[in-house]
Amino acid sequence: MPDIFGVIADATRRDILQLLLERHLRDEEISVSEIVGNLEISQPTVSKHLKVLREAELVTVREDGQHRFYSLDPEPLEMIEDFVIPFLSAGFDTEVTVEYLSEDGERVAGPDSADPFGDEGEVLSEEAAAAAEKIGRAAALAEHRVKELVARFKLRG
In a domain, 27, yes or no: yes
In a domain, 24, yes or no: yes
**How many domains does the structure of the chain reveal?**
1
The Cα 153–Cα 148 span in angstroms is 9
Q: Which residue has the higher pLDDT, 18 or 122?
A: 18
Domain that holds residue 8: 4-73
Instruction: State the virtual CA torsion across 74, 80, 85, 88 in degrees, nearest 10.
Output: -120
pLDDT band at 42 (very low <50, low <70, confident <90, very high): very high
DSSP-derived pairing of the beta strands 67-72 and 100-101: unpaired
Q: Which residue has the higher pLDDT, 147 or 24?
A: 24
The Cα 83–Cα 125 span in angstroms is 38
**Is the pLDDT score of 144 beyond 80?**
no
In a domain, 122, yes or no: no
Residue 102's alpha-carbon distances to 31, 83, 107, 117, 132, in angstroms, are: 60, 42, 6, 12, 17
Closest CA to 9 of 41, 56, 42, 43: 56
In a domain, 107, yes or no: no
Residues of the chain above pLDDT 90, percent: 43
In a domain, 65, yes or no: yes
In a domain, 61, yes or no: yes
Closest CA to 17 of 63, 76, 68, 65: 76
Mean pLDDT of the chain: 83
Is the pTM higher than 0.75? The answer reads: no
Which CATH number covers residue 58?
1.10.10.10
Query: What was the pLDDT predicted at 35?
Result: 96
**Is the pLDDT score of 150 beyond 90?**
no
The Cα 21–Cα 35 span in angstroms is 12
Burial class (CB in 10 A: 0-12, 13-18, 19+), 142: exposed
- 68-116 pLDDT, tens digit per residue, is 999 999 888 888 888 888 887 777 666 667 777 788 888 887 766 655 4
In a domain, 144, yes or no: no
In a domain, 22, yes or no: yes
The Cα 88–Cα 84 span in angstroms is 6
